Amino acid sequence: MVALEREDQPLDGVEGMVNIIWSLLAIIGIVFAAVNGRMEEVNKAIFSTIDDAIMITLTMMGVLIFWLGLMRIAEEAGLLRGLGVLFRPFVQRIFPDIPKEHPAMGYILSNMTANLFGLGNAATPMGLKAMKELKRLHQADTASRSMITFLAINTSSITLIPTTVIAIRMKYGSVDPTAIVGATIIATCISTTGALLIDRYFHWRRTRRGEV
């Protein structure tokens, strides 16, 4: 989410740093296995998980297609628009420096709605577009208050239906795949509340120091 605009400017060092970290982890693991004579185990682990990876992907694909279809129906029925209207006053209080009719507000609302249904894959494009609009609104190389707040909320995101987790539990034969729903709602409500409190605390500290 921090890597914002591919069209207008090159990505900053965040995405490159993430790629380097993952590459280093893989290289260190392989070297460690080679030094300790455990390359055979590494090879077995790689090839034994390929089937699981493909099956999980197919299982998740089916569930995601189902929920994305429902999202499309809800959009055509005006439900998502209604949710957007319902959440707009709340979102405007969280992002006071975004103009009411700015495109970023619509993308933020769409992102939050998708996250409510656990559709991270659908929420990500909306989140990237929201960040792009916020970057354009801020017109600076540093992250704005709204960008930081949005990143915190998107990371913690309240979720009503954890679609991805349900799909994985179904794949591995869970007796009750949806049993995680209640715990997910409680956990994400706590995480989002915590993210907002921490965000507001650090904003208050920056304000006191005159950094904002």
| Residue 5 counted as domain residue | no
What is the per-residue pLDDT for 210? 72
Q: What are the structure tokens assigned to 2, written together?
A: 């921090």
What is the per-residue pLDDT for 107? 84
What is the per-residue pLDDT for 80? 64
| Residue 47 counted as domain residue | no
What is the per-residue pLDDT for 90? 83
Q: What are the structure tokens assigned to 70, written together?
A: 């429902």
What is the per-residue pLDDT for 14? 53
What is the per-residue pLDDT for 145? 86
Segments of the chain with pLDDT less than 70: 1-16, 59, 63-64, 67-68, 71, 74-75, 80-81, 84, 121, 211-212
Residue 10: what residue type?
Answer: P
Query: Do 95 and 130 touch, CB atoms closer than 8 A?
Result: no
Checking 122-127 for CB contacts under 8 A at 24+ apart, the result is 122/64, 122/68, 122/71, 123/154, 123/157, 127/1, 127/154
CA distances (Å), origin 53, targets 45, 58, 59, 138, 158: 12, 9, 10, 41, 27
Domain count across the chain: 1
| Residue 10 counted as domain residue | no
What is the per-residue pLDDT for 10? 43
Rounded to two decimals, the pTM is 0.64
What is the per-residue pLDDT for 194? 92
| Residue 160 counted as domain residue | yes
Query: Do 157 and 188 touch, CB atoms closer than 8 A?
Result: yes
**Residue 121: domain span:** 53-208
What is the per-residue pLDDT for 15? 60
